[in-house]
Structure 1
Amino acid sequence: MKIPLGLLLPESQADKTNIQKHLSKNSYIITVGDRTTKKMIEFGLVPSLQIIDGQEKREKKEPPKLENAIELTVKNPAAEITTPSIDVIKKAFTMQPPVRLFVDGEEDLLVLPVCIHAPENAIVLYGQPNEGLVIVTITPEIRNKAQSLLDLME
């Protein structure tokens, strides 16, 4: 995903104040990626859905501690989006937050099904390697764009 789906906040500006400008009081926050998830939890902005794989830039990392989270797991090989991954994302949206989805494999591309199936008030946050944080406000246009990209992969 070389081209960000939403607004790219440069690394130097990806602080709590700038992130909060894009959130409303009832935003359903979704993070994809270990570093993004950890950063949001450190800011006190606990994501409703967190999708992690226990790695940052191919290095094993300990996921941030989180009390009372429902934990789900799914296998999703690198450079793929599996049907079970899509199914578990849909299931996660029906559960009481916070929900943490631990991916055995790679989570990067799961941004696409997340954008398609996320609730109306969702904000998706994910890292753009060596550039910053991408903030995606879920709209019908974003859903269509994500669906088109997903269709291209099949």
Structure 2
Amino acid sequence: MKVPLGILVPENQTQKNQIQKHLSENQYLITVGDRTTEKMIDFELIPSLQIVDGQEKRKKRIPPKLENATELTVDNPPAEITPQSIELIKKAFTLNSPVRILVNGEEDLLVLPVCVYAPENSVVMYGQPHEGLVIVNITPEIRNKAQTLLDLME
């Protein structure tokens, strides 16, 4: 995941107005990562699906606050994508928003199954360490690229 799947917004430009330029009306917003999720909630851009692990750069932190979310939990070890994680992501897309998946382990690589199974008109956001925010509009090309990367991990 060293190469961003989408547009990289540099850290010093991750303000609400810069992010909104990349969003369209009624888009299904998905965040992966505690800091990214917290930033979007602070901007009042409430993600429909949030995947967090209670860590930032390998340090424990309190997950971002959110009212009225359906919370699901899954075990996903670092550097892995478990079948249970994939199934829970698929299930999350069928539930009323907002949904939060709290990962015991690490959520970073879950960007891949999210990109494969996200509904049409979705946008995925995740942090690129020390660089900024990655914004990925889900297209058939992105789904194929994410699926190819997932297949390489099996």
Unaligned segments of structure 2, at least 5 residues: none
**CA–CA distance in 2 between the matches of 1:12 and 1:21?**
16
Partner of 2:103: 103
RMSD over aligned Cα atoms: 0.5
Identity of aligned residues (%): 74
Aligned to 1:51: 51
Q: Secondary structure at the match of 2:39?
A: helix
Give the Å deviation of 1:125: 0.1
TM-score, normalised on structure 2?
0.99
Could you say what secondary structure the match of 1:75 adopts?
A: strand
How do 1:47-126 and structure 2 match up within 5 A?
47-126=47-126
Question: What's the offset of the Cα at 1:113?
Answer: 0.1
Deviations 1:50-76 (Å, cap 9, x if unpaired)? Answer: 000000011111111111100000000
Q: Which runs of 5+ in 1 are unaligned?
A: none
Paired residues, number: 154
Match of 1:38 in 2: 38
Determine the C-alpha separation between the residues in 2 that align with 1:63 and 1:150.
Answer: 27
- Alpha-carbon offset, residue 30 of structure 1: 0.2
1:15 CA displacement: 0.9
Whole-Å separation in 1 of the counterparts to 2:106 and 2:76? 6
Find out whether 1:150 has 2:150 as its counterpart. Answer: yes
Runs of 4+ that moved beyond 2 A: none
